[in-house]
Amino acid sequence: MTAVRVKICGLTRRPDAELAAASGAHYGGVILAPGGRRSIDLAAAAEVLDGLPLRRVGVFVDATVEEMRRAAHIVSLDVLQLHGSELPETAQQLRSEGRWEVWKALRPRPGMDLVTELRRYAGRVDGILLDGWSPSAPGGTGTPFPWEAVAPHRDAIPPRVSLVVAGGLSPSNVRAAIELLRPDVVDVSSGVEDSPGVKNADAVTAFISAALDAVADPFPRS
């Protein structure tokens, strides 16, 4: 298994982004969908991430192609994360229009044919992000998805498409998620916070350390 990468999402403050970068995170995520507890505008997002050695991820929920294209240029995004009901054709169009990657979020739940959804998007995106489903919000709720039920379908994701695991991760469980689901990226927001948008420094460093240690140690701990 190759080394897992870490994304710290829901960044709203410059010191938190600096901490994530200094602690070994690979991605910094900003919520550009309006109305969320961690939402920030384009100018604030650019300021939070400016000059840091993090790949910049912008999270959108059913935004128009033009809105996402504009945001990508203003914030210098490396990844556009589609967290709503965006169609495969929308993802493919965005992917063809810039240097950025496109990730599509799926939220496994009872009654959803996950394999069919994976096949719909797998050839049109660079990454599939699995998140927990909640009726209260499209993401950022700290809700896990059913890992055990999803794990048998891991190989339905083509090798060229990254698997990003999110939803309810924390320093205490990220190792187990990595060992079971074999993700390329682990993504955390609420699991390392004191309050929405305010990261806890100890939790951020512990999460990153635990994620990297899970790959570095080839012998699972009992």
Chain segment 52-98, per-residue pLDDT in tens: 999 999 999 999 999 999 999 999 999 999 999 999 999 999 999 99
Q: Does the 5-216 domain belong in CATH 3.20.20.70?
A: yes
Which residues are catalytically annotated? 9, 131
Q: pTM of the entire structure?
A: 0.92
Q: What span, in angstroms and rounded, lies between the C-alpha atoms of 176 and 92? A: 33
**Predicted local distance difference test score (pLDDT) of residue 175:** 95
Q: Break the chain down into helix, strand, coil percent, rounded to 5.
A: 40, 20, 45
Domain boundaries, the chain: 5-216
